[in-house]
Amino acid sequence: MDFDIKTGKDIKLNVRPVTVCLYHEYVFEGPCRFGVGDQLTKEFDLMNAAERHRAFVNNVNKYIGSLDYVNVMEPIMIGRDETFPVKEEMLDEMARDVAEVDLFLMNIFPFGVDFLLEFEKRYDKPMALLHFGSNDAIFVSALTARGHEAYCWYDWDFAPHTLKVLRARKVLKDTRILCLPRANSTTSISACDSFLDHNVVSNRLGVGFRYYNMHEFLDQTQIVDPSTNPTLPGRLGDNINEEDVEEIDCIVQGLIRDAEICDMEKSAVFNSVKAHYLAKKLMAKFDCNAFTAPCPDMCATRRLNEEQFTLCLTHSLNNECGICSACEYDVSALISMILLSSLSFSAPYMGNTSLGKMDAGDVLSTSPLLKKDEGGFARTESSLSSTGGIGYTFHAVPNRRLRGYDGEQSAYSIRPFAMGGRWGATIRYDFNQDIGQVVTMCRFDPTCSKIFVARGEIVAGAGYETENCTEGLFFKVSDGRKFFEGSLLVGNHIPLVYGDVYDEVVGFAKLKGLEAIECA
């Protein structure tokens, strides 16, 4: 089934180019009007305006339209005479499809800010202007002083930073999270550092929440009469059915076929894919495009042991297709992942995060998940032996699109989460192949008033050959103390993406009025 889920990676920023120009009805000169001969005619003004508008639109299409995350809308040209009228028909023309516009990209000459102020009183839309001269300061200061959003780019190279940040805001506004609580809809046992109040998050970031009972979800992984679920007696549930089984089996075969190593029985992989399939089915039903579920809370019920799956594979497969998905019901981590992926256009990775050492030496002994007899330890230890300022992050949820949603699928293996029972399929990724890769990390604090952002570089990976949450990577940061102290203010799981989007995260914080805790 092709589930109808609008993913964040498919969202484009709608940019409308608008030219506001001036023409003169009369031939005259004055302190703001000068020229010779035909240059003082209305015909010349209109011809000049048309040429300026055409050049403007061509540049917009060249520098902005070439960005695959931007949709350039049909351009508009507004002309008015030297009496500077602001007419209803002019405002209505600029407001065409205004609800769809995310950013008005303005071209004004020689005057026009007065017209824009009248427009903004009614519609309050973000506006941007390319550096033109004294109009720059008039435009930005006049609009921002009145509480409107305005940007000015010195040249076209400055534009992508703003566009990415505005698009990230749009992605978050369009996010609806399917949450599977057990006993508490805000936090789970292992994520008490997550957001304190989802209403604050909705008001500040625009994110929506849909809560769905964890036990109802687990019941519907069963291939039974959908009216016989213990938690939904007599109600037709969305249980996995025979048609679903065929599609699930195809996914399982593809996962096993393409893996470098599959250290699991097909039936065990099937159980985990079944949970992933149901999650997507329910997300489509409730118009959601992000997902989270508790881990220790759900584990304690013993139902995961009974059903023989974990949700690790669900998170990995969701993340690599643009549906951000977080472990442990950590909504702070999840929304951080959405922000990072929307800026980097690559799939995120989250894990238990901490600083190993601020000085050179053996950092591996600081991670309780690693033992010296594990495969790959010697290689990792050698990579880190002379490097200081090392952090680490570990979870069993890497994916095959870390290098970009549109890139080639990375090599991977499939290994179980459960060491003895050999169940709970997980994707394993060898981070050692990416030594030197720059990563950006961030996390919102529990009050949704701060965001921690850091830049790092991968120095080693571990856990490719092992089970459960021993999968992960080590990264170096410029200032270990700053990283450590910053992480204490926001919480444990600090997600990352490949690439440098540090400045864009800081820009987003500024846009939303959040305090940025920086570790460059």
16-61: pLDDT as tens digits: 999 999 887 777 777 777 777 777 788 888 898 899 999 999 999 9
Structural domain span for residue 129: 8-170
Q: Of 170, 196, 211, which marks where a domain is finished?
A: 170
pTM for the structure as a whole: 0.93
Which pLDDT band, with edges at 50, 70 and 90, does 377 fall under? Answer: very low
Q: Tell me: the pLDDT tens digits for 171-229?
A: 999 999 999 999 889 999 999 999 999 999 999 999 999 999 999 999 999 999 999 99
Using a 10 angstrom Cβ sphere, with 0-12 exposed, 13-18 middle and 19 or more buried, the burial of residue 461 is: buried
Q: Both 164 and 237 in a single domain?
A: no
Q: Decide if pLDDT at 255 tops 70.
A: yes
Domain assignment present for residue 14? The answer is yes
Domain shared by 371 and 510, yes or no: yes
Question: Is the pLDDT assigned to residue 263 strictly greater than 70?
Answer: yes
Dihedral sign from CA coordinates of 500, 503, 507, 509? positive
Residues 114 and 241 in one domain: no
Note whether residue 1 is domain-resident: no
Residue at 3 is within a domain: no
pLDDT top residue among 501 and 34: 501
Please report, rounded to a whole number, the percentage of residues in the chain having pLDDT higher than 70. Answer: 94
Question: Residues 294, 394: one domain?
Answer: yes
Gap between the Cα atoms of 406 and 388, Å rounded: 34
Q: Measured between alpha carbons, how far is 71 from 86 in angstroms, rounded to an integer?
A: 28
Instruction: State the DSSP string of 428-447.
Output: E--GGGGTT-EEEEEEE-TT
pLDDT, position 381: 57
Domain count, the chain: 2
Residue in the block written with tokens 């970009």: 404
Number of CB atoms found within 10 A of residue 141's CB: 12
Query: Burial of 204 by CB count in 10 Å (0-12 exposed, 13-18 middle, 19+ buried)?
Result: middle
Res. 368 pLDDT band, cuts 50 70 90: very low
Answer yes or no: do 109 and 138 share one domain. yes
Last residue of a domain, one of 115, 139, 170: 170
Q: Which residue has the tokens 């305006």?
A: 49
Residue 353 placed within a domain: yes
Is 114 within the bounds of a domain?
yes
Per the domain annotation, does 89 fall within a domain? yes
- Same domain (yes/no): 123, 197: no
Please report the pLDDT score of residue 170 as a whole number: 98
Q: What's the pLDDT at 385?
A: 54
Give the whole-angstrom CA distance, residue 151 versus residue 53: 20
Output the pLDDT for position 372: 42
Q: What is the 3-state secondary structure of 299-357? A: HHCCHHHHHCCCCHHHHHHHHHCCCEEEHHHCHHHHHHHHHHHHHHCCCCECCEEEEEE
- Averaged over 283-303, what is the pLDDT? 97
**Whether residue 74 sits in one domain with residue 200:** no
Mean pLDDT (whole number) for 246-263: 97
Q: What is the pLDDT of residue 161?
A: 97
User: Is residue 375 over pLDDT 50?
Assistant: no
Same domain? For 494 and 513 the reply is yes
Let me know whether 95 and 230 are in one domain. no
pLDDT at 115: 96
Q: Which of 128-137, 168-177, 482-491 has the lowest mean pLDDT?
A: 128-137
pLDDT score for 35: 77
pLDDT digits (tens, 9 = 90+) for 438-464: 999 999 999 999 999 999 999 999 999
Q: Write the CA distances from 347 to 166, 167, 240, 398, integer angstroms.
A: 19, 16, 27, 9
In a shared domain, residues 145 and 257? no
Helices 331-344/198-205 angle, 10° precision: 20
358 pLDDT band (50/70/90 cuts)? low
* Amino acid, single-letter form, for residue 156: W
Domain co-membership, 437 together with 498: yes
**pLDDT at residue 153 tops 60:** yes
Q: Pairing mode, if any, of strands 208-211 and 176-179? A: parallel
* CA gap 1, 289 in Å, rounded: 16
Strand partners, 33: 30
Q: Where are the beta strands (DSSP E) in 134-252?
A: 150-153, 176-179, 208-211
Predicted pLDDT at 359: 54
Mean pLDDT of the chain: 92
Q: Is residue 151 part of a domain?
A: yes
CATH label of the domain that carries residue 83: 3.40.50
Sign of the Cα pseudo-torsion (510, 20, 49, 136, in order):
negative
What's the confidence (pLDDT) of residue 361? 45
For residues 86 and 166, state if they share a domain: yes
pLDDT of residue 290: 98
> Dihedral through CA 12, CA 16, CA 17, CA 18, nearest 10?
-170
